[in-house]
Chains A and B, each alone.
Chain A
Amino acid sequence: MAVSDRIVRWRYRLVPDHLLGEILTKRWVDNAIPLLILVAVAAVFGWLIPDFFSSASISSLMRQWGEFTLIALALMIVMVAGGIDLSVGSTFALGNIVALALLNVAGWSVPAVIAATLACGAAVGLVNGVLVGYLRLRAFLTTLVTLIIVRAIVDMLLLKYSVAIAAAFVDSDLWYYFGEGDVLGVPFSVAAALAVALVAHLVLTRTRPGWQVLAVGGSRRSAHNVGIPVRRVICLTYVVSGTLAALAGVLFASRLGGAGADTGVGLEIAALTAAVLGGNSLGGGRGSAAKAIIGSIVVMIMVNGLVRLGITRGGSSLLLGMVLLAAVAIDVRWLKNRMKFLSKVYVSPTFAELPPAPPIEGASPYAVNDRLRPVEAIGLDRIDGPEDVILDEDDHIYVGNRTGDIVRFLAPDYTRQEVYAHVGGRPLGMAFAKDGALLVCIGGMGLYRITRQREIQKLTDETNRSWFSIIDDSRLRLADDLDIAPDGRIFFSEATIRYEMHEWPVDCLESRGNGRIIVFDPNTGKTQTVLKNLVFPNGICMTHDGRSFLFAETWACRVSRYWFDGPKKGTVEPVIPDLPGYPDNINRASDGTYWLALVGMRTPAMDLALKMPGFRRRMARRIAPDEWMYPNINTGCVLRFDESGRVIETLWDLGGESHPMITSMREHRGHLYIGGILNNRVGRLKLDGADEGWTGQKSYWGQDAARGRA
Chain B
Amino acid sequence: MIGGLGRIVDNLLGRGEAAVTVPPLDGALRPNRLLDEGTTRTPLDGVDCLAVQGGTLLAAAGDGIFVHGADGRWIRRSTWPSPIACIASIGADGLAVALASGDIVVEGGRFDGRRYRADGASACITAVAATGSHLFVANGSATNGPGDWQRDLLERNAQGSLWRIDLDGGSVERVADRLAWPAGIAVQGGNVVVSEAWNHRLIAIDPAQPGKRQVLHADLPAYPGRIAPDADGYWLALFAPRSQLVEFVLREPAYRRRMMAEVPQPYWVAPNLRSGRSFYESLQGGGVKHLGMLKPWAPTMSAGLCARLDGAFQPRASLQSRADGSTHGITSVVQHEGMVFAAARGDGVIVSRPAATSGADQGAGR
Question: Cβ of A627 and Cβ of B245 under 8 Å apart?
Answer: yes
Q: Is A481 an interface residue (CB 8 A)?
A: no
Choose from B248, B255, B263, B268 the contact partner of A623 (Cβ within 8 Å). B248
Question: Cβ of B283 and Cβ of A608 under 8 Å apart?
Answer: no
The CA-CA distance from A626 to B18 in the complex, in Å, is 19
Q: Is B355 an interface residue (CB 8 A)?
A: no
Residues of B within 8 A of A384 (CB): 291
Interface centre among A384, A605, A621, A622 (most CB of B within 10 A): A605
Choose from A606, A615, A621, A660 the contact partner of B282 (Cβ within 8 Å). A606
Residues of A within 8 A of B19 (CB): 622
The CA-CA distance from A631 to B280 in the complex, in Å, is 10
Choose from A600, A627, A680 the contact partner of B299 (Cβ within 8 Å). A627
Q: Give a binary string over A247-258; 1 marks a CB under 8 Å from any B CB, 0 the rest.
A: 000000000000
Q: Is B258 an interface residue (CB 8 A)?
A: yes
Q: Is A604 an interface residue (CB 8 A)?
A: yes
Question: Cβ of B252 and Cβ of A618 under 8 Å apart?
Answer: yes
Question: Cβ of A623 and Cβ of B244 under 8 Å apart?
Answer: yes
Q: If A626-B299, A627-B285, A628-B245 touch, does A678 touch B291 (CB 8 Å cutoff)?
A: yes
The CA-CA distance from A634 to B295 in the complex, in Å, is 12
Q: Is A222 an interface residue (CB 8 A)?
A: no
Residues of B within 8 A of A622 (CB): 14, 18-20, 244, 248
Q: Is A632 an interface residue (CB 8 A)?
A: yes
Q: Give a binary string over A370-384; 1 marks a CB under 8 Å from any B CB, 0 the rest.
A: 000000000001001
Residues of B within 8 A of A672 (CB): none
Residues of B within 8 A of A631 (CB): 283
Q: Is A516 an interface residue (CB 8 A)?
A: no
Q: Is A505 an interface residue (CB 8 A)?
A: yes
Residues of B within 8 A of A363 (CB): none
The CA-CA distance from A24 to B288 in the complex, in Å, is 32
Choose from B252, B263, B267, B285 the contact partner of A628 (Cβ within 8 Å). B285
Q: If A622-B20, A623-B20, A629-B269 touch, does A604 touch B280 (CB 8 Å cutoff)?
A: yes
Q: Give a binary string over B241-279; 1 marks a CB under 8 Å from any A CB, 0 the rest.
A: 001110010001011001100111001110000000001
Q: If A603-B279, A634-B279 touch, does A678 touch B245 (CB 8 Å cutoff)?
A: no
Interface centre among A384, A622, A661, A680 (most CB of B within 10 A): A622
Q: Is A609 an interface residue (CB 8 A)?
A: yes
Q: B283 CB to closest chain A CB, in angstroms?
A: 4
Question: Cβ of B244 and Cβ of A627 under 8 Å apart?
Answer: yes
Choose from A608, A629, A656 the contact partner of B284 (Cβ within 8 Å). A629
Question: Number of contact residues on B: which range applies?
Answer: 35 or more
Interface of chain B: mostly helix, strand, loop or mixed: loop
Q: Is A43 an interface residue (CB 8 A)?
A: no
Choose from B255, B268, B287 the contact partner of A634 (Cβ within 8 Å). B287
The CA-CA distance from A601 to B286 in the complex, in Å, is 17
Residues of B within 8 A of A606 (CB): 282
The CA-CA distance from A488 to B292 in the complex, in Å, is 38
Q: If A615-B254, A629-B284 touch, does A634 touch B267 (CB 8 Å cutoff)?
A: no
Question: Cβ of A626 and Cβ of B284 under 8 Å apart?
Answer: yes
Question: Cβ of A626 and Cβ of B286 under 8 Å apart?
Answer: yes
Residues of B within 8 A of A680 (CB): 291-292
Residues of A within 8 A of B20 (CB): 622-623
Question: Cβ of B280 and Cβ of A603 under 8 Å apart?
Answer: yes
The CA-CA distance from A632 to B283 in the complex, in Å, is 5
The CA-CA distance from A619 to B279 in the complex, in Å, is 21
Question: Cβ of A619 and Cβ of B248 under 8 Å apart?
Answer: yes
Choose from A381, A615, A627, A678 the contact partner of B252 (Cβ within 8 Å). A615
Q: Is A501 an interface residue (CB 8 A)?
A: no
Question: Cβ of A634 and Cβ of B288 under 8 Å apart?
Answer: yes
Q: Is B366 an interface residue (CB 8 A)?
A: no
The CA-CA distance from A623 to B259 in the complex, in Å, is 19
The CA-CA distance from A678 to B280 in the complex, in Å, is 20
Q: Is A144 an interface residue (CB 8 A)?
A: no
Residues of B within 8 A of A681 (CB): 292
The CA-CA distance from A633 to B280 in the complex, in Å, is 11
Q: Is A269 an interface residue (CB 8 A)?
A: no
Q: A162 CB to closest chain B CB, in angstroms?
A: 63
Interface of chain A: mostly helix, strand, loop or mixed: mixed
Residues of B within 8 A of A678 (CB): 288-291
Closest chain B residue to A635, Cβ basis? B279
Question: Cβ of B245 and Cβ of A608 under 8 Å apart?
Answer: no
Closest chain B residue to A505, Cβ basis? B285
Residues of A within 8 A of B258 (CB): 608, 612
Question: Number of contact residues on A: which range applies?
Answer: 35 or more
The CA-CA distance from A629 to B259 in the complex, in Å, is 14
Question: Cβ of A633 and Cβ of B283 under 8 Å apart?
Answer: yes
The CA-CA distance from A625 to B248 in the complex, in Å, is 13
Question: Cβ of A605 and Cβ of B285 under 8 Å apart?
Answer: no
Question: Cβ of A632 and Cβ of B289 under 8 Å apart?
Answer: no
Interface centre among A603, A621, A624, A627 (most CB of B within 10 A): A627
Q: Is B45 an interface residue (CB 8 A)?
A: no
Q: Is A679 an interface residue (CB 8 A)?
A: yes
Question: Cβ of A656 and Cβ of B287 under 8 Å apart?
Answer: no
Kindly identify, within residues 635 to 650 of chain A, every residue whose CB is under 8 Å from any CB belonging to chain B.
Answer: 635
The CA-CA distance from A601 to B281 in the complex, in Å, is 10
Closest chain B residue to A661, Cβ basis? B289
Residues of B within 8 A of A629 (CB): 245, 269, 282-284
Residues of B within 8 A of A608 (CB): 255, 258-259, 262-263
Question: Cβ of B255 and Cβ of A612 under 8 Å apart?
Answer: yes
Question: Cβ of B283 and Cβ of A634 under 8 Å apart?
Answer: yes
Question: Cβ of A605 and Cβ of B14 under 8 Å apart?
Answer: no
Residues of B within 8 A of A618 (CB): 14, 248, 252
Q: A708 CB to closest chain B CB, in angstroms?
A: 39
Residues of B within 8 A of A604 (CB): 262-264, 267, 280
Q: Give a binary string over B6-20; 1 marks a CB under 8 Å from any A CB, 0 the rest.
A: 000000001000111
Kindly identify, within residues 61 to 117 of chain B, every residue whose CB is under 8 Å from any CB belonging to chain A.
Answer: none
Q: Is A630 an interface residue (CB 8 A)?
A: yes
Question: Cβ of B284 and Cβ of A630 under 8 Å apart?
Answer: yes
The CA-CA distance from A630 to B283 in the complex, in Å, is 5
Q: A468 CB to closest chain B CB, in angstroms?
A: 32
Closest chain B residue to A616, Cβ basis? B255
Q: B281 CB to closest chain A CB, in angstroms?
A: 6
Question: Cβ of A605 and Cβ of B269 under 8 Å apart?
Answer: yes
Q: If A608-B258, A608-B262, A627-B245 touch, does A603 touch B292 (CB 8 Å cutoff)?
A: no
Residues of B within 8 A of A601 (CB): 279-280
Q: A399 CB to closest chain B CB, in angstroms?
A: 14
Residues of B within 8 A of A656 (CB): 289, 292
Q: Give a binary string over B287-319; 1 marks a CB under 8 Å from any A CB, 0 the rest.
A: 111111010000100000000000000000000
The CA-CA distance from A603 to B286 in the complex, in Å, is 17
Q: If A608-B255, A629-B245, A632-B281 touch, does A603 touch B267 (CB 8 Å cutoff)?
A: yes
The CA-CA distance from A65 to B289 in the complex, in Å, is 65
Question: Cβ of A679 and Cβ of B291 under 8 Å apart?
Answer: yes
Q: A141 CB to closest chain B CB, in angstroms?
A: 42
The CA-CA distance from A679 to B291 in the complex, in Å, is 4
The CA-CA distance from A407 to B281 in the complex, in Å, is 35
Residues of A within 8 A of B281 (CB): 603, 605, 632
Closest chain A residue to B290, Cβ basis? A678
Choose from B18, B263, B285 the contact partner of A630 (Cβ within 8 Å). B285
Kindly identify, within residues 1 to 38 of chain B, every residue whose CB is under 8 Å from any CB belonging to chain A.
Answer: 14, 18-20
The CA-CA distance from A600 to B255 in the complex, in Å, is 23
Question: Cβ of A630 and Cβ of B282 under 8 Å apart?
Answer: yes
Residues of A within 8 A of B292 (CB): 656, 660-661, 679-681
Residues of A within 8 A of B248 (CB): 618-619, 622-623
A-B contact pairs, 14 of them (CB 8 A): A600-B283, A608-B255, A615-B255, A622-B14, A622-B248, A625-B285, A626-B286, A627-B299, A630-B284, A631-B283, A634-B283, A634-B294, A656-B292, A680-B292
Beyond A634-B288, A679-B291, 15 additional pairs, beta carbon < 8 A: A600-B283, A603-B267, A604-B262, A605-B263, A605-B268, A605-B282, A608-B263, A615-B254, A622-B244, A626-B286, A632-B279, A632-B282, A632-B283, A633-B288, A634-B287
- What are the 9 A-B residue pairs with the smallest beta carbon separation, nearest first? A626-B286, A680-B291, A635-B279, A605-B282, A627-B244, A604-B263, A632-B283, A601-B279, A623-B244
